[in-house]
Structure 1
Amino acid sequence: MEMLCSEALVSAGVARMEPAPAGPGAGWPVWKMPGHILLNEGRMRAHKAFGDILVPCAPTNVVISVKSEKARERLLYSSNAIEGVGYGFFDEPEEFWSPSRMALYKRMGFSAIYMPATTLHAVMTEVTGKGHDHHAVNINGTDLYRDLADFGPDMARIAGRSALDL
């Protein structure tokens, strides 16, 4: 799943920063912007606990937590109260639509959670139908839940720039 997410970033123009093969910087990513780093390669493995992929931004980097089809508590606690983004092929919309769950995602530091269009539609139909759409915004006042198709363009817009625009 991480490689699929990485490929979505590359397709949007956010290059993958490969670890340097040799020399004093061996194993550290070779920086280029806009770019992203896999946190399971080279010397970045020590930071894997923070998430799966890092996109350098200001004032804080964005860390992407990649999950498959189920969010459960694994997604919730993966953000570590830093600027977080969730990415997955989530297929259980009920994991996302309660006001308490939306509040927890924001409290844990999520700026956006990307999911398939069908799941997003089901989530937002429930959220707006119950009058809870004011909960489905992030700390920046933009949509918390987003279509997977928007992931690459959104990351390309903020990579090496401001995460406050997410």
Structure 2
Amino acid sequence: MKCLHPYCPNGQGAASWDEVVDSPELKARKDDKPVLLAALKADFGALTSVPVAKALPVPNQALVSRLLHLCPCLFNQIDVPATAEAIVHLCEITLGTTINASNVYDAFLVQYPKKETFKFPPIEGCRIGGTVMEMLCSEVLENEGVPRMPLDEDGWPVWRSPGHMLLNESKMRALQALGDILIPCAPTNLLISVKTEAARERLLYSANSIEGIGFGFFKEAKEFWTKSRMLLFKRMGFTAIYLPDTTHEAIFAKLKADGDEVRAVNLNGTSLYRPLSIFGEDMRRVVGRSSFDL
């Protein structure tokens, strides 16, 4: 995830605060630039494992919001609620690499409430945990070759393939009841429903008989291995549900013991339950093409 903070531990930040302040994306007014630059140079150096809150560099809240968006590392130094994007970035810093399908569960554990293991934690966490889960999924797609679609000036996504769009932002919020992330695909677009650790009925009914994909950090294998649950997932339109590799292994150990492996298939005749580690490969294979290949 992009961060322009000159001291960003991922080593890909701006060369200096001067470059950040002059960034066209920041849209800093000429009168604000000297004050902002002086404050950033004076107070905002390297990140710390025990964060210490610094005063806002300028009173202009809109400018500070744009600055935080461009430099998510600043949530380690400024006492405002972290965005979901910032949490994902701080997870990446902790892992020391970008987030992909093979390590997204590790990233989830980094930010796990009350057991956080951030190398450089935010002063205040994100207040909407579900949005963090969606951004973790989005970041996986981004780094697996299915990038997030930009928004136009009116807030509509600019359709591109390969690409994905978030249904919780701007004009697409009206469709959020259908899912969290959309991937263009024939014969119907794929709608990804992102969950945390428990499926419950929330996952079951999120596909709404449209072609659904489940993505979550589910820890209870018993939620998935009953005959009725497998039938209901297929009835509700799920093509695949991606789970942590250990949960996936536990499900199939039980299904094998009961002789029910044949039931864990989708309408295409392929596996309904799949490990998170192959999520990126699967989405990359079908984006802009046919979901029959899932």
Q: TM-score range by the shorter chain?
A: over 0.9
1:110 aligns with 2:238: yes
CA–CA separation in structure 2 for the residues paired with 1:53 and 1:83:
12
1:75 aligns with 2:203: yes
- Number of matched residues? 162
What is the CA distance between 1:136 and its match in structure 2?
Answer: 0.3
Maintained 8 Å contact 1:27/1:43: yes
Letter paired with 2:245: A
Counterpart for residue 121 of structure 1: 249
After superposition, give the CA deviation of every residue in 1:46-83 in whole Å (9 maximum; x if it has no partner): 10010000000011100000000000000000000000
After superposition, give the CA deviation of every residue in 1:96-117 in whole Å (9 maximum; x if it has no partner): 0001100000000000000001
1:85 aligns with 2:217: no
Letter paired with 2:280: G
1:30 aligns with 2:158: yes
CA–CA separation in structure 2 for the residues paired with 1:18 and 1:95:
36
CA–CA separation in structure 1 for the residues paired with 2:207 and 2:190:
10
Match of 1:64 among 185, 188, 192: 192
Counterpart for residue 14 of structure 1: 146
Counterpart for residue 137 of structure 2: 5
Q: What are the within-5 Å matches in structure 2 for residues 141-160 of structure 1?
A: 141-160=269-288
**Greater RCO between the two (CA within 8 Å, min separation 6)?**
1
After superposition, give the CA deviation of every residue in 1:23-58 in whole Å (9 maximum; x if it has no partner): xxx111011110101001111101001000000001
1:55 aligns with 2:183: yes
CA–CA separation in structure 1 for the residues paired with 2:192 and 2:279:
11
Maintained 8 Å contact 1:19/1:41: no
1:44 aligns with 2:172: yes
Letter paired with 1:12: E
**Alignment gaps of 5+ in structure 2:** 1-132
Letter paired with 1:131: G
Normalised to the residue count of structure 2, the TM-score between the two structures is 0.55
What is the CA distance between 1:164 and its match in structure 2?
Answer: 1.0
Normalised to the residue count of structure 1, the TM-score between the two structures is 0.96
CA–CA separation in structure 1 for the residues paired with 2:186 and 2:168:
22
CA–CA separation in structure 2 for the residues paired with 1:90 and 1:161:
28
CA–CA separation in structure 2 for the residues paired with 1:127 and 1:101:
13
DSSP-derived class of the 1:16 partner: coil
Counterpart for residue 100 of structure 2: none
DSSP-derived class of the 2:208 partner: coil
